[in-house]
A and B are shown apart, each in its own frame.
Chain A
Amino acid sequence: MTAVTAKVQKPIAPPKPWTRERTIGWALVGLWIFIIGSLLLWMVEAWNPELFDRYFPKYVSGLIITLELVAASIVLGALLSFPIAMMRMSRNWLLNKISYAYVYFFRGTPLLAQTFLIYYGLGEFRPQLEAIGLWGFFKDAWNCGVFAFTLNTAAYQAEILRGAINSVAPGQWEGAASLGVPKWLTFFKIILPQAFIVALRPYGNEIILMVKGSAVVAIITVYDLMGETRRAYSRSFDFQTYIWAAFIYLAIVEIIRNLWDVMEKRLTRHLIR
């Protein structure tokens, strides 16, 4: 009586009926295929090698400027966010209120308005800025863009950091204290690494928001990817130029998103049981 376990055969799945949901679903997917397909078809048909040759190098330089702008403001903003987050968590009433006002201002107003305020607004103080030797810095649109974005992202990053640090259980502080670990060491070696796991996802979102937000510098005459696109469109009146930019921006965002998924998986592998 051994090995009589006959292979159990699964019954053949009944044919999937064409329910209402299935019909709607296929219609919607069909619509997407139609839209994207006709877009690609149109681009192939309207393909202009001369246009491509002329603007391809410009798009590359625009892409590099966009990436530089985002990288510079994210890194500088991260440095600036530390003191702001510390002030926000301090018990000193004045420091707390100052950092609260800072964060409230930069999160409550449009990035475009902040950029205008710095690029055009600081021009009003040209004599004073010249006197302290900073006019050379604020004369340049790229510098102003980086400055505005740094201040803006520092406010958002300070909130991310504060939330992440607060999310670490107070028992971690107490445990370290009971082992005689000094406070600053506890912060850097015990609290911060745990906070970063919590902060990882919001940081990724902030970088994506910055990549998308950086397009507004095109309005203050920086030739980033968006700026180059606008220039190419205003010279060629070919709508393809915008579609190219759309594909490039989508690719950047998707790359960052997938990179973050990989990073999160790696950093949280000790939490998976």
Chain B
Amino acid sequence: MTEALALLGFGPTGWGDEILAGVGVTIALALATLPVGLTIGFFVALGKQSEEQTIRLAANIYTTIFRGLPELLTLFIVFYGAQIGIQTAYAWITGSETVIEVNAFVSGMIALGVVFSSYASEVFLSAFRAIPKGQYEGGWSIGLSGWNTMRLVILPQLIKIALPGLANLWLILLKDTALVSAVGLSDILRQTGIAARVTKHAFLFFGTACMVYLLLAIISSFFINRISDWASKSEAAR
């Protein structure tokens, strides 16, 4: 027991500080992916409920592809594909070949972002459908432009309806960041994996990794509850 505590402690002999750095990377990746995924997801949802058939088709192709591919495969395709693509483009423009390493953090952000957005678009779409048409008409009738109706009337209601679904997606995103350890980003799982290999205490360290992920989920739930309390405040007036 004391040995385990010493291994998880801070300082030169313990692995606590290394794991903590990994926690930082995981949180940073998840937080950086969130706005990317939400923005793309919102626009894909707009496309899916468009009256124009071709926009719907394009949006549906997007979600079919990225919800059908395993997250790990999407990550590898982005990671190696971007590398090959950039190298080819560089060689084509400058005529000289170089080896370009693509940043694991950025590829993780892109891959997880597109996966997140394709699921988020479904959440947004069902939220859009829950908003009655009269809300748009009400906005227009008091002279708001299309964009302002969206921003001032629809979006606040949309966020409230979509919140439980998006909270779920956030928890899934937090777990999916673990995959980025496979392309070499030093997140929680990679750091604990190194510690496990060096110290031969695999169960202790991977168990710790699981506990850290659980802790992150619990902390997220706390904040999600705060946000949903805040969002439901406007309901009390009714």
Contacts and interface: CB of A to CB of B under 8 A. Distances in A.
B181 interface: yes
Q: Which of A31, A104, A116, A249 is packed against the most chain B CB atoms within 10 Å?
A: A116
Nearest to B200: A124
B65 A29 contact: no
Contacts of B227: none
A22 interface: yes
A219 B182 contact: yes
A212 interface: yes
A121 B73 contact: no
A21 B80 contact: no
A109 interface: yes
B41 to A, nearest CB: 16
B57 A121 contact: no
Contact of A121 (B76, B171, B206): B206
Contacts of A110: 175-179, 189, 213
B69 A249 contact: yes
Contacts of A98: none
A246 B206 CA distance: 30
A215 B73 contact: yes
Nearest to B74: A246
Given A109-B213, A226-B70, A116 B206 contact: yes
Interface stretch (B32-40, B47-55, B94-102, B158-166): B47-55
A121 B69 contact: no
B108 interface: no
Contact of B72 (A21, A25, A216, A253): A216
A55 interface: no
Interface in A95-128: 104-105, 108-114, 116-117, 120-125
B201 interface: yes
Interface string B66-109: 01111111001100110010000000000000000000000000
Interface of A: 19, 21-22, 24-26, 28-29, 31-32, 104-105, 108-114, 116-117, 120-125, 211-216, 218-219, 226, 229-230, 233, 239, 242-243, 245-246, 249-250, 253-254
30 contacts: A19-B52, A24-B52, A24-B55, A25-B50, A25-B58, A29-B57, A29-B58, A32-B58, A32-B61, A108-B217, A109-B209, A113-B189, A113-B213, A116-B202, A116-B206, A116-B209, A117-B203, A120-B202, A121-B202, A121-B203, A121-B207, A124-B204, A239-B81, A242-B73, A242-B80, A246-B77, A249-B68, A249-B69, A249-B73, A250-B65
Please give me the 10 A-B residue pairs with the lowest Cβ-Cβ distance, nearest first: A25-B54, A121-B203, A28-B58, A110-B178, A215-B70, A25-B55, A120-B202, A253-B68, A212-B70, A117-B206
Given A24-B52, A113-B189, 19 more contacts: A22-B54, A29-B58, A108-B218, A109-B175, A110-B177, A110-B178, A110-B213, A112-B178, A112-B189, A113-B178, A113-B210, A113-B213, A120-B196, A120-B206, A124-B204, A214-B70, A226-B70, A226-B73, A245-B73
